[in-house]
Every structure is written in C-alpha cells, then in structure tokens.
Structure 1
Amino acid sequence: MAKSNKLTLAKLNTVDNKNNQRKTIYVTPERYEVNIHTFFRESLMEDAVTEYIALVEELRNQTELDDVMIRGTLSLFNVLVMKKFTDLPFPKKMDLSSLINISRKFMDNGITNEVINSFPKEELDKLEQRFKTAQQQAAKVVAEMAVASIGQAQDISKEFSDAS
C-alpha cells in the first residue's frame, strides 16, 4: 500500500519556509543593517496593495492638499515595499501624512534607493503588476460609479421635466 502524502501542519510549515528568504544589506555611510525579503509572499503583496488603496482613499477624502502631500504620494509604492518587505523602522499606526514624512527621511538619506535596488527585480515586477491591476480595478469602479451617478441624474432630470 502506498504511503499517504497528506498535508500536515508540520509539512505546511516546511513548504512555507521557502517563503522566508531574506538577506542583509547595509545602508548609509554608517552601514546600518537592514534585512530585506528576497521572496515576496502573496499575503504580504496583498497587504501592500490593500494599504495602498486605503491610502489613496484617504487622499481622495482630504479637503486640503498641498504640494508636499501630492509629491509624497508618488513615493507610496516604494515606501510600502519597504514597509512590508524590510525590517526598517515604521511606526505601527501611520496615516498618509506620517507615511510621507518617514518616506522623505528614507529618500533624503539615500536609504530608499539602496533598499529598492537591493530587491530582486522579478519580485518588484510581480508587486508592481499587482499595484497596476488594483489601480485599474479602482479606476473601473470609480468610472462605473460615475456612469451610475450620471444615469441617476438623467432619470431625475427626466422625471422633473415630465412632471412639468
């Protein structure tokens, strides 16, 4: 009789260990140690995309935007990659403004370039594709909402003109 190859918790942990690939790099002239992932877990990529969507929504809901805030959003991809796939110091709870502030510190001190350039290109490409797909889906939802809103406005207008 053939031996069963049933997935157990121990076997799952063994399989999952391949997802824990990391390496140590050194940043700034002081050579601070940073551990980076060399394999991007699906769950962490999903977390990064979800956080990105939440931050974009927060941005959309803000009534007062300044140039610093708008420019800072351009670095969201890099900063979320660093937040999810390194052991760089990020506060646990961060809003868009504080995330932009810390991202500027990383950028101004050359840390962003050093870290991003140390990730495997194929892993960054996978994540970037995820972001693009999420952006397209979000744009599609917004477009559908706009079309529905226009349709409702036209219906109301028609009802109003029919009542006249």
Structure 2
Amino acid sequence: MTQQKKLTLIDLNRFEKELDKTKKISILDNKYEVNIHTTFKDSDIEDLLHDFRTIIEKLSNTQNVELRNVYSIYLTLILRQFTDIPITEENEIVELIRISKVLKNKGITNEVFNEIPQDQLDYLTQKVKKSSDALNQLLKDTEVENGYTEPKAVGSDSEKESS
C-alpha cells in the first residue's frame, strides 16, 4: 500500500492549472483565434445551468421571443462559458439571440463545436440530463406535497373500468 500524503495548497494550485488548460484554434479561414477549455469544470457547468435557467424563466414571461431561439441561446451560453469568444455576461435575451444568430450565420458555432473535445461535450450532456432529472423530480415532489394530482383524461381506462 502506498503512503498517502497530505493535500497541500501547492497541490490545489496544480489541480487548478490542470483544470484551466485551453486549446487554441483558428476559425474563419485562420483569421481569428479562439481558446477552448479542454476540461469542462463542474463549477462552470453549474454556472452555465444557472444562467440557462434564468433565461428560461425570463423567456416564460416574455411575449415577443420565440421558443425556437432557446437552443441557439443554450449553444451560445456554452461558447460563453467554455471559450474566450467575447459574449456578453448579461443574460439579456434579445442581445443573446442577436449574438447567437451572428455566430451561427458566420459558421462560428459549428467551427468551434467541431473542435471542442467530444468527451467534454458528453460530460456536459450527462450533467445537464442529471440536473434536468433532479429538477423534474423536485417539481413532482413539490406537487405531491401540495396535494396536486394529474387530472384524469376524459375516457381514461379508470373511467371505463368503473362503468
């Protein structure tokens, strides 16, 4: 059995450096360079999910925004969180939609996503799914605690059986 050592500040600093590594890519026919994180940190994923939830809440209260923009905004938030593309830190929906359209229409979204390590995209997808499942379960639990039950559909099996 190997001897265990104490975790030190030096170790933590080394871990942080490892987690903060980026890869430099060229986009738009080598005219621009973009740095991409090679490791998607859990804390960054949490920030991304928080921002996305905030935007979803805003969207649910907004009349003039089409829901088809949600996916584009999500991709833009990923680029904001895991690259150095200058995307506004404000979660203003109209501005994020504008930026997401520019990124998409110039092909930047595709170029950058093609360079993001697949294992990190898979990890992000797994974390998003877990978060979504946990949120759905929380909502169900809250509904049960508050006495909410699903309304029965007209002509459901339970109605037919009691006839």
TM-score tier by shorter-chain length is 0.7 to 0.9
Distance across 2 between alignment mates of 1:122 and 1:4? 30
Match of 2:118, as an amino acid? K
Q: Which has the higher helix share?
A: 1
The alpha-carbon deviation at position 51 of structure 1 amounts to 1.3
The alpha-carbon deviation at position 104 of structure 1 amounts to 0.9
**Contact 2:25 2:33 (C-alpha < 8 Å) held by counterparts:** yes
The alpha-carbon deviation at position 36 of structure 1 amounts to 0.5
Distance across 1 between alignment mates of 2:60 and 2:33? 36
Moved more, 47-56 or 116-125: 47-56
Match of 2:136, as an amino acid? A
Q: What is the RMSD computed on CA atoms of the aligned residues? A: 2.2
**SS in structure 2 at match of 1:150:** coil
**SS in structure 1 at match of 2:148:** helix
Match of 1:119, as an amino acid? I
**Contact 2:104 2:110 (C-alpha < 8 Å) held by counterparts:** yes
Distance across 1 between alignment mates of 2:110 and 2:134? 29
Distance across 1 between alignment mates of 2:106 and 2:120? 24
The alpha-carbon deviation at position 6 of structure 1 amounts to 2.4
The alpha-carbon deviation at position 137 of structure 1 amounts to 2.7
For structure 1, list consecutive stretches of 5 or more residues without a partner in the other structure. Answer: 152-164
Distance across 1 between alignment mates of 2:51 and 2:147? 27
Match of residue 108 from structure 1:
105
- TM-score normalised per structure 2: 0.78
**Contact 1:21 1:39 (C-alpha < 8 Å) held by counterparts:** yes
The alpha-carbon deviation at position 5 of structure 1 amounts to 2.8
Poorly superposed stretches of 4+, deviation over 6 Å: none
Q: 1:134 aligns with which of 126, 131, 138?
A: 131
For structure 2, list consecutive stretches of 5 or more residues without a partner in the other structure. Answer: 150-163
Distance across 2 between alignment mates of 1:6 and 1:74? 45
The alpha-carbon deviation at position 16 of structure 1 amounts to 2.1
Match of residue 27 from structure 2:
27
Q: Percent identity?
A: 32
The alpha-carbon deviation at position 53 of structure 1 amounts to 1.5
Task: Check 1:96–1:139 CA distance in 2 against 1; reply closer, same or farther (3 A cut).
Answer: farther
Q: 1:82 aligns with which of 72, 79, 82?
A: 79
The alpha-carbon deviation at position 78 of structure 1 amounts to 1.5
Match of 1:15, as an amino acid? F
**SS in structure 1 at match of 2:33:** strand
Match of residue 73 from structure 1:
70
Match of residue 10 from structure 1:
10
Choose between structure 1 and 2 for higher RCO, CA contacts under 8 A separated by at least 6 residues: 1
1:120 aligns with 2:142: no
Match of residue 43 from structure 1:
43
The total of aligned residue pairs comes to 146
